[in-house]
Chains A and B, each alone.
Chain A
Amino acid sequence: MTDVMPDPLTLAILLPLFGAIAAFLLPRAAPAIGLGAVVATAAAIAVLGHLVVQAGTIFVPLGGWGAPLGIELRADGLALAMLGLTALIALGVGLGALAAFAGETEVGGQPMARQRAFFWPLCLLLLTGMNGVYLSNDLFNLYVMLEVISLAAVGLAVLGGTVAALRAGLAYMYASLLGALMMLLGVGFVYLQTGRLDLAGLAGAPDSAALSAAFGLMLVGLALKTALFPLHFWLPEAHANATAPASALLSALVVKAGLYILLRLAEAGPFPGEAILTLMGVLGTGAVLWGGVQALRAERLKLLVAWSTVAQMGLIFVALARAGLEGLSDSWRAAALLILAHAVAKAGMFLAAGRIKDVIGHDRISELDRSAVRPALAQLAFALAAISLIGLPPSLGFIGKWSLMEGAMMAGNWHWVAVTMAGTLLSVAYFTRALTGFLRFDRVRAPLDEHRGWALADAPPVVLAGLAVGLGLAAGPILAVLDLGTPFGAIP
């Protein structure tokens, strides 16, 4: 690893950090610095990708100490896929943010110039934290990274400065903090039992009460952070009331950090038994149903999208649970695909929802129509993202659901297939509410020769949503990347 200097793993974490510092120091140039930093990070990730493809899993012992004394960074296919996806989404959302925070008008909350200046440092810190989580191989480091993410995410959630956003942001802060502290206590229990902090230390540890307590704590904490039903209470308001680019980052990326750590724990584990897995599946089912029903009842577009996040998170938990203990080495792939699919689609969808709200001035679903001024492209992006989230072919979401159901069926777990189907039906129902609204014009009195909402700002959501659909065709290569370095052992 010493031939490349400095190593791309550290760069993937530190480049956004330097970007955040620069953007904080020079608020006026923040957008340019931010985009530059994201591109630079993407370049580092590309180099990293090259190395991973060549060498499989890469470890970097920071400080030269190596685990267990020092902290190691670890990059394999799963991490690489997440890194690449995160960079992609950050780029898309960043470009979307250029437009979202343009202008000088103050809309109820913070003035735009200020939001523009503060979005970038926070976004880049978030990126630092996310990349740090993906590359981390150390439990305590994961906790610290989660806190970096938490604070940046809270800052993003309250960027708009409205009372609703602040209230939701505070509730989010508390939930996130509690989750992190549970994780911390869990780390304490792990240390009590094994005397080590690196994930590899978990692998050889014998089953014991302390480790069970540790896993229990970490599971609950991470479930709280990923808004697993019934610990989802904070998510809908926080995601719905943030400004669109912030919502996109929160929904697409932040919740994935917890899921990713869960995957890594499952990989390193002695993972808790069948009962816990089943419980995760049951709670995931609850999330799928409850999130779906609430999305059906939501009155605002962004709230609908936020509730759909709850439902989709539930589906990912079902994916983890679906094959039972012995199938875990396989089911993580479905979960990873669903994570990727949801991230891209949700980023595009929130950006699109934000554009729609910006152009027509509100996002009440019952009053959506084909008004004279309409954001046609944003609506197209919303529809494309919905296709992926519903899981219609050939989208990436479809591939994820296909792998989930295929595995569940092979394992004879038809109930998980039924849950997936039910979730799909619910998502059809709630997204149709919005899509129907885009197409109706029986109430429009304005002249029909409409102005089509062309704007450069529509490009990021359209591209992201298009990718969410189109990446399904690249599922083969994506799976190949995920299997690099064979996380979860050999390919069956």
Chain B
Amino acid sequence: MIDMPLLPLIILMTSLGAAPVLLALPERSARLRTGLNLAVAAVKVALVIWLAWKAAHGVVYDLRLSVLPGLDLHLQADPLALMFVALSAVLWLVTTIYSVGYLERGPHRARFFGFFSLCVAATVGIAMAGNLFTFLLFYELLTLATYPLVIHRGTAAALRAGRIYLIYTLVGGLALLLGTLALWGLAGTTDFVPGGVMAEVAAERPAAAQALFVLLIAALGVKAALVPLHGWLPIAMVAPAPVSALLHAVAVVKAGAFGIIRVVYEVFGIELAQGLGVTGPLIAVAAVTIIYGSLRALAQDDIKVRLAYSTVSQVSYITLGVALAGPVAAIGALAHLIHQGVMKITMFMAAGNLAEGLGVKKVSQMDGVGRAMPGTMAAFSLAALAMIGLPPFAGFVSKWYLAQGGIAAGQDWVIALLLGSSLLNAAYFLPLLHRAWFRDATPEAANAPARRKISLWLAAPPMVTAGFVLVIGVLANAPFSPLEWTRFIVTREFNGGL
């Protein structure tokens, strides 16, 4: 195959370049828009596969554009980047299909798909960022691109949610800017290097290094919805279902979590972070977030809000795994990044289908929906069970590795935490499944006027992703499974210390 050094840039440009075209397309040309959307998404998946193939065969991608002396825009394709790019490319394709169905005849589709595309471009940029400076650039772009999506409905509630979202994320972005500056000032580079770049600084000025760690994690924690910086996430639920799906599964929340991974492993280096004594507090924050999110989820009647709190809880598994600072826990964390994405996107798309097809938006309205929409609810149930951590589904795999990692790190209480969390997961998901499958629909709900047949565009994607959930759980040990890929990454990060 021909060698293309610009491949990462091309992958970035597929969605970045599509965005203005999509924005500019007249509202009426729906077919053209759909075609373009799907084509670009498919091309992107193909390109990512190609990239992964080349990278796996030892081709190193490294693109730099100097902005200020010594400060580059830097794109690269290390295994960690590839993992996140692949996740976003695949899930984008699925979500695009879903969005086409979801927004059929809805207003402002041009704007929606334009910013949707921009949002994915930002995610890809975040994934392939080779230094914190580039990461920051795409991190801010992500904020800007998701804002119009959050307020897409244009209602007062949406605007309020958008404002809160923007305040949280932009303040977080500013903190990240400050952190990047400080890193630049202290270490003289912002590059992501396995093992970190802060060793000298930490030796000379440990307090400054600690402060920088806190600043960066807090900045990223806003998007990763670490308690107490999670306030925007449940409110942002007013967004359309595909947006919520994307926000939770790949884009915003994961960008934060991914950033935490980069900072801990490749800015500070895990050993240095441990040495600075900052991983302990991070574990504590992650643990609190896991429990807090689950507890809050219990009390929510609105399905999407319940899912949102579930996200708050689940994403912190990643932080937890990172902070536990052992290779096994790291595998759990990285695997969960993918697994949680696939599971959560399934659930959000299914929830969107319930709202679209049956007008069901609350848990209390879910009686008997399993019979009304068996396919959708089957997908939802599968994802929920996986989320709870039942073997052999995806959630079990990551939780297993996290627990192992906890033991390996000498933190046995992590098992208790995971168990407790899983119980809470069960407590807030099982009632849903119970209502959906084992209760009869109330008569008024059965005759509700909102009931309409949903198209295949809507029905298929959650089932496909539910299939993923099953496959990546069952075939976890097969070559090229996410788990194997994370093993490969972790080997690299820990210098083969597995």
Contacts and interface: CB of A to CB of B under 8 A. Distances in A.
A and B touch in the complex (CB under 8 A): yes
A403 B182 contact: no
B104 interface: no
A409 B212 CA distance: 14
B53 to A, nearest CB: 30
Contacts of B140: 392-393
> For this complex, into which size category does the number of interface residues on chain A fall?
20 to 34
Given A406-B181, A452-B26, A473-B73, A439 B151 contact: yes
Contacts of B173: 392
Contact of A393 (B136, B154, B155): B136
A402 to B, nearest CB: 7
B26 A473 contact: no
A421 B178 contact: yes
A479 B163 CA distance: 36
B154 A370 contact: yes
A439 B239 CA distance: 14
B67 interface: yes
A476 B67 contact: yes
Contacts of A449: 27-28
A297 interface: no
Interface in A211-225: none
Contact of A424 (B107, B144, B174): B174
Given A472-B67, A476-B66, A476-B68, A436 B136 contact: no
A332 to B, nearest CB: 15
Contacts of A476: 66-69
A421 B156 CA distance: 29
Interface in B153-211: 154-156, 159, 162-163, 166-167, 170-171, 173-174, 177-178, 181-182, 184-185
A387 B162 CA distance: 17
A477 to B, nearest CB: 9
B137 interface: yes
Contacts, number: 83
Interface residues of B, number: 38
B148 interface: yes
B2 interface: no
Interface in B380-397: none
Contacts of B163: 432, 436
Interface stretch (A95-103, A112-120, A202-210, A440-448): A440-448
Given A425-B174, A473-B67, 11 more contacts: A392-B141, A394-B137, A402-B177, A402-B181, A403-B68, A424-B174, A425-B170, A436-B163, A440-B151, A441-B108, A441-B154
Interface of A: 370, 380, 387, 392-394, 399, 402-403, 405-406, 409-410, 417, 421, 424-425, 428, 432, 436, 439-442, 448-450, 452, 472-473, 475-476, 479
12 contacts: A370-B108, A392-B140, A393-B133, A394-B73, A406-B185, A425-B174, A428-B166, A439-B148, A439-B159, A450-B27, A473-B73, A476-B68
Interface of B: 23, 26-28, 65-69, 73, 107-108, 133, 136-137, 140-141, 144, 148, 151, 154-156, 159, 162-163, 166-167, 170-171, 173-174, 177-178, 181-182, 184-185
